[in-house]
Amino acid sequence: MKAIERVQAARSPKRPTAASYIANIFTDFLEMHGDRRFGDDSAVVAGIGRLKGRPVTVVALEKGRGTEEKIRRNFGSANPEGYRKALRQMKLAEKFSRPVVCLVDTAGAYPGQGAEERGQGQAIAENLMTLMTLKTPVISVLIGEGGSGGALALAVADEVWMLENAVYSVISPEGCASILWKDSSKSAEAAERLKLTAEELYGLGVIERVIPEAGEDFGPVYAALSEGLGAALERYSGMTTEELLERRYMRFRRMGGSGG
């Protein structure tokens, strides 16, 4: 499968969004709204639930299904209050020693006037800094699109996993093509060059695990995630805070460093 086909699959309107994952993987889910600063961003769904009996915090970027919901969710592109809502729930997770599971699916942080006025850059930066030393395990799963800083703000984690057809990139293939060749129709070539597929990112050491997909039936995906997340959270919850944070720091420290 070509890289651009993965991009198309990741963006497909038929693809389940975060809400389906939450419904199929977690029980007792209680959604929590608002950032206590400005408002409630519907592009971010956050709350508490159980994973195999263990209380966990879930933070997800939600694109919505159907036109009406997509508009309400701003197509999964969060404003600063969305990132601040996520951060609030993560800090509560730390307080109550609950692990955090992030589900990432976004074309990117919303490039809007209000978003900039309210500090989109500052909101993302604060998430990166806080997540880097959040004293509880964090696992992020890219379930569809992983668009640049807006995705990374929920993907500073102990492990990052991707679904087989998810993509993760510093820039969209269209954006890359228009800068490189002044021609956004060359996005297929840009997609190849950017190395944004799960398989390639696994090869680059940027993610720990690729979750296989089986066409339109996501049942096996939910089952694999439920099992996998359960086991991973068990493992990370057994670590001392010091060990956990040192591992997380080094996970990113080695990327693009002198150590390769």
Q: Could you say which of 23, 71, 204, 214 contacts other proteins (CB under 8 A)?
A: 204
Size of the site for other proteins (CB under 8 A): 48
The verdict on 124 binding other proteins (CB under 8 A) reads yes
Q: How many angstroms separate the first and last alpha carbons of the chain?
A: 28
- AA identity, residue 128: L
> What would the two tokens of residue 5 be?
């086909």
Q: Could you say which of 4, 128, 210, 224 contacts other proteins (CB under 8 A)?
A: 128
Q: Nearer to other proteins by C-beta: 100 or 201?
A: 201
Q: Nearer to other proteins by C-beta: 149 or 228?
A: 149
Closest to 150 in 3D by CA, of 252, 32, 63, 35: 63
d(CA 133, CA 93): 13
136 in Cβ contact with 91 (< 8 Å): no
Q: How far is the CB of 169 from other proteins (least distance, A)?
A: 6
Q: Nearer to other proteins by C-beta: 220 or 256?
A: 256
The verdict on 4 binding other proteins (CB under 8 A) reads no
CB atoms within 10 A of CB 15: 21
The verdict on 122 binding other proteins (CB under 8 A) reads yes
Of 18-26, 85-93, 103-111, 234-242, the segment contacting other proteins by CB under 8 A is 103-111
Burial status of residue 230 (CB atoms within 10 A of its CB: 0-12, 13-18, 19 or more): middle
Closest to 169 in 3D by CA, of 220, 108, 222, 121: 108
The verdict on 125 binding other proteins (CB under 8 A) reads yes
Which residues of the chain form contacts with other proteins (CB under 8 A)?
Answer: 109-113, 115-122, 124-126, 128-130, 132-133, 148-149, 152-153, 156, 168-171, 176, 179-180, 193-196, 201, 204, 206, 248-249, 252-253, 255-258
